[in-house]
Structure 1
Amino acid sequence: MTDDQPSWQHALSARDDLSQYGDNAIGLFALNLRFAIDDIHSVAAESVTDGSDDKKCDIIFIDRDEGVAIIAQCYCSAKNRSSAPANKAADLNTAIGWLLQRELHDLPERLQSAAGALRSAIVGGDIKRVEAWYVHNLPESTNVKDELSTVESTGRHLINALYSNSNVTLSALEVGLSTIEDMYQETLSPILVNEEVVIEIQAGFEIKNENWKAYVTAIPARNLYRLFKKHRTKLFSANVRDYLGSRQSDANINNGIKKTAETKPGDFWAFNNGITALTHEFSSETVKGKLQLRIKGISIVNGAQTTGAIGSLPKLPNPTALVPARFVETKNADLVYDIIQFNNLQNKVTASDFRSTDRIQRRLREEIGEIPSAKYEGGRRGGHRDLIARNKNLLPSYTVGQALAAVHQDPVAAYNQKSDIWIQDNLYSRFFNERTTGAHLVFCYALLRSVENSKKHLVARSKSDVGLTEQEQELLSYFRHRGSTYLFVSAVASCLETFLGKRIASTSRISFGNKVSPQQATQHWGDIVQTVSPFCQHLLDVLGDGLKSNERASKSISLFRTLVQATAGSNAETYRKFAKHVQTQK
């Protein structure tokens, strides 16, 4: 590595945890940057194809929250070259054809579940964009661009023919040296929308001190509408939350904002708290008798719900609707972070849209802070800080929520509703409540990690000279199904009474105690996962068309549990060893 390498390459080199994925590491790194993924290893467990016969699909990533699917071909050159090989870009034609068009039973086993999940997401309206990425570490080139234009054209025709009612778009992107550098640099700034915006206003005033200056005004709601339609969640890059949607309920704040904008636009300014936004620079001037505010770059640090509600209106807001607004400019990086923090903590949070400040999450952060080698942020996801400066002891909030859901017998929520666990009151309160302890979070998280490690081990053995036994091959076939890890976690957790040899009054009170690190906890689960893994074949029926029904999952888990109970005698020593580490609070 030389000193003139782009900074993203230095950052990738520092991510020694990604080296295990070979050439796919660069694809996962790019996904990490683009989607602010907290837990790239859980994503890798689901998204990375694990064999040579992958039909030119290295990564198949589906993000229902963003409404996008990524089909990636990855290439990492050990030598400096002027461009990446164009034929590998053309390979994406093959990938798209196999994933979208061929009969599922014709696909290699490792792709069948991923292709089924992709098609289901398109038909169900869960995704609106499919992006074909050619990810590499060389300069972008015209030859590759030409090949990707063909991929894009072919893919669009295929989607239009197969899914004419889906309104899904397809694009092909070269994610090379400069593009990844742009992605990386964006993570270093809290402001991702860098365009210049001119807003016509009625009046306004500037205030400032030695560290910052701000402009206070009222802006037309239609300006926010246009900004949200164009930039979506990038508009909230410096916010600890983005727009969380609205329900048809008078009690829902976002629905109330929309209703006010539609029925009482002239009173909107009086009824709404408005927005606070960071900007690189602002100025005001009078042009042809009209006052204009000119801002360069914008990120809304408070008012995401107002902006999202306005941006989600069925049509452009009435011109009389005005939104209170203040734009803050500062060059002080530490002050930027303080502005973000205090703008979100000093306001009352309602409608279940912000969990990281509630008393349960505060308590859980404190409890996990007492556990060795463990850190928990409790509700925060991604954000503006450098995504590469990863804390190896961090328990990612969304992964913790998914692990909790799976252990508490809701694998469907764990797999399909990772955001809803934090947004919807009924889900959140089921998993995060007064009975939930920090040590229990580690207990659940460690089980999920142990299951994921089991899959990684099998994939590595399948690529080695040793190869897999027939039983291991069956287990790997199970893990190739989307949602399989969460279903397995639920199945294992359902057997806790068998493992411990006693009745459990409350699963929430089970843990390894507050002196056991997540790494140690993962090791404690290792023998249990290995011992019961042969029974995974009895869970397969639930995964045939995706993990969608807890009722069906419950029936398969019941059979799994029966088999574990029937073989408990022969595995008694393993269970006794595990039980010694487990604590049960009353």
Structure 2
Amino acid sequence: MSSLKVRQIKNKLLEMFEAHLDLSSIGANDLQRETKILTRCLAAFAIYLQTGCSEKEAATSVWDGPDDNGIDAAYFDPSDSRVILVQSKWIAKGSGEPEAKDIGVFTKGVEDIIEQHQTNFDSRLQGPLSDIFIRINTPGTYVHLVLVSTGASSLAKHGQSVIQKLLKDINGDDPDAIASSEVMGLSEVYSKLASDPFQGNLTLDANILDWSYIATPYPAYFGIVDGLQLKEWWKTHGKGLLAENIRQSLGGTEVNSQIKQTAATAPEKFWYFNNGITLVAEEAAKAPAGAAARSSGIFAFKGASIVNGAQTVSSLSKVEDDLSLGKVRVSIRVILLKTAPTGFGNEVTRTNNLQNRVEPRDFVAQDPEQKRLRQEMAIEGIDYQFVRGGSEDSNSTSTNTSCELIEVTTALACATTDPDLAVQIKTGTSRFFTDLTKPPYKTIFNPSTSGAKAFNATVVHRKIDDWIEKKKHSLSKKSGIVWGVLVHGNRILAAAVFKKFNANLSESISDFSKQLDQNKLEAFCDEVYDKMVSAIEAHYSTKFLANLFKNPTISKHVFELVVT
């Protein structure tokens, strides 16, 4: 039976991906040519399933070939802020599993990507590798490892321990893990191919509480579902749930974190805080019910897709406390399209997603301190933009006579010379705006912070960043601690340079710019960098630097070793 499934999978995978694959490294007379092609098809299929991208995009994400460092495919999914790394193995007999030594090669490649070591990757991968490095270094990005084969759906003890050790090294003691893994075997590959959710043939089974029916002008149901049911939907169908949505999950945003927190700690309040979800479906089948029919209805929605509420469903799927999830109540609408005019489903999708998303940083517009800073900078000819405008690119408003909220926040966090703030800014700026009445926001934005100090700190921080970029370009070996300090330790480095430079940031902007000694500043950058490298080599040479510089205790120790 397994061999039959393998043959069926083979034909389908070749149909989907072979034409889009780069096969130039596989010789025409290679005895393993078919197996190598199918291994690449399998890697592409894993990316396709995980992200919902096109078949061509999935195929072009395949790295398999000479010096791939164990990584068969890599893809950044912007809708979920996840980097997907895949190792694949085609097993013709349909049984067995990847060998532990191959998994070890894969985990070593993952380590090199996390630490941004380029040395062990072929030059043909430098373009996509650089893109993945940028994504990995962005706060809020997660890493998901997928081992896919046409064999067993689980790994033997040794192979599993290799993966678990890597995850432990990457995640450390952080309760909000940034790395996860998944094993897909013959059973999962076969079932996903047989019912491809991205082809619009998904059927959702739903238990809707307190439901009602709207007959005209177009049929629809509305009511309430519980959070545990939504989690099961996501576990079963993944991003296939969102096939018709204009955007999918946005990953680890502050809003999504709050959704998870409310569900886990205050499930009884969830319905009051959440906008609910909207589905479209071709048609519905409803199970017969007795006298209490309206209190609970069992439905099957055919050709279903969530068109609004992706963040709600994907966030609830990450809540581990199923008991709390069972208490969560979420409003739901299901709009049936079978008898609706052509194009009505697209209208529903578009109009349900026209609202602009409010971010925590938007609330600073109401803070008098920000308005004061803008006025103080304006007196000296500096345009300070703290209200989010049409452009999301902070660099578009960063010049010699302008600055914007995010870079000012980053500069002030480092200029306090408190390594804890530098660590917090490294893990993302959004937490600074969660509560404008408390630290860390109030630590840097308070009456003692003048407009001059804010801009002067920003100027210094820009120059430190410029030094870091020049230093990175000067290194012949883009790996190891000498590289990792520049990539992952940039905020601690900046905090230490601010401490040693000890400039009077509260001087007027014009006087500060005249007196700023760039040679002295760069000399401190050299000194701090060398001491950081030495400190890590002496005390933390076996640590993941990506994880080390998100650890407040270790970062503070490195900081103290450098500045004392």
- Bin the TM-score by the shorter chain: 0.3 to 0.5
TM-score by length of 2: 0.48
TM-score by length of 1: 0.46
